[in-house]
Amino acid sequence: MGMLDGKVAMITGAASGIGRETARRFAKEGAKVAVVSLKSEEERAVSLCAEIAREGGAAVFIPCDVSREEDVRAAVKGTIQKFGRLDIVMANAGINGVWAPIDELMPGEWDRTIAVNLRGTYLAIHCAVPELKRAGGGSIIIVSSVNGTRTFANAGSTAYSVSKAGQVALMKMAALELAASNIRVNAICPGATDTEIGSSTIKRNVETIKVGVHFPHGAPGIRNGQARPADIADVCLFLASDLARHVSGAEIFVDGGFSLAV
């Protein structure tokens, strides 16, 4: 018997990284999974659905730009049409965006990061809550970060850090508001994780504002603060499951303790 038997989960940004590993983990524990990701990620998303099917699970790819209301509404509708209900929402889609000195960070660059990371999280919750209420409750998991919540040492990451701090504030407001509907809302705050998000980061002139943080004896924390996607997925599984039935409004740092020293 799996920890998520009979549950349906919708995961945004599920084609790669933390989202992909969590989709696998949820499916292994019995959940049916809506793999929500950009149309450009279709090949990877479809391969993930096929992998889940081969292992006896059920998954469907739904293309979606989380910054677009109509896309997110369609993703929720598609999940319900395919699986009949919705119990778990993981707002995971995000970008690092542009990192630059604040006087060089352009308004359009700021807007794009906020649109994907913060607006996208709001839209996922906003559109999914009616279905969670129909199901009698559920779990919302927001993927935030140590940046903007515990550490501010990454030069130029202003828009990203603000979006991540905003996600935690949104989580706490929603947790209190939705408690009466038996909907739990929590956030995980990963540190450095072995995903591809860093490769798409655009950095401009960050050396001019860099704060000198040095660890001559190696970075602190478990495994020097380096996480694997599976480390994050297991925490998400806990939050999605009945083991976390009385956990709501919590931000959980998953960085091996690294950010305590930064």
What is the chain's alpha carbon radius of gyration, rounded to the nearest angstrom?
18
From residue 214, alpha-carbon distances to 130, 166, 205, 261 in Å are: 48, 28, 20, 11
Is residue 160 annotated as part of the catalytic site, yes or no? yes
**Amino acid (1-letter code) at residue 118:** L
Q: How far, in Å, CA of 260 to CA of 100, rounded?
A: 25
d(CA 218, CA 14): 32
83, 99, 160, 258: the active-site residue: 160
Residue 245 buriedness (CB in 10 A; 0-12 / 13-18 / 19+): exposed
Measured CA distances, 47 to 39, 90, 136, 190 (Å)? 14, 20, 32, 26
CB 117 within 8 A of CB 142: no
Catalytic residues: 160
